[in-house]
Structure 1
């Protein structure tokens, strides 16, 4: 069964409750974490969040892709993409 993903408001409320801080402080902490991870990955680095996973930037080579509506083959230039590798601890909890 699929359920709706947790919203930012729900996440902030859960963080505030779990850490005994107010929602405004929890919101600032979440935004700071997001900003730190974003800056590091955008600069080509990687960030590991223990128990969750690793966020990294990966280079992709130039390649041929197909336009799904026309079937035309076009050359897509090299680019960079974010990659998330899920931690084994999280996989174990999910599959338990």
Structure 2
């Protein structure tokens, strides 16, 4: 697992930046993806993948403690689809 701090450290070292500069960049990238998701826009990062919003319809579920059927409200879900290069790297 890579934490945000580990990503920041790696970017700072690779790009000859301070950790504060690298953290600002990483935070900005995540913020932009989240802002795009709020508006329903897809974020496509070539060579990495796509972040997009999926509408999840209302559904029925069962409470595991009581067995009672409940309704789960419709919601939005952020999904990620990796690019072919990422899939190939994982499986190659």
Q: TM-score scaled to structure 2, two decimals?
A: 0.91
CA RMSD of aligned residues (A): 1.1
**TM-fit CA distance, 1:17:** 1.3
Query: Which of 47, 53, 60 is matched with 1:57 structurally?
Result: 53
**TM-fit CA distance, 1:95:** 0.8
Query: Which of 58, 64, 82 is matched with 1:86 structurally?
Result: 82
Matched, 1:34 2:26: no
**TM-fit CA distance, 1:57:** 1.0
Instruction: Map Cα deviations across residues 37-92 of structure 1 (whole Å, 9 max, x no partner).
Output: 00001111110122221111111111111112222111112111111111111010
How far apart, in 1, do the equivalents of 2:64 and 2:82 lie? 30
Query: Which of 67, 71, 74 is matched with 2:70 structurally?
Result: 74
How far apart, in 2, do the equivalents of 1:64 and 1:33 lie? 36
Between the two proteins, the alignment pairs up a number of residues equal to: 92
Matched, 1:95 2:64: no
Unpaired segments ≥5 residues, structure 2: none
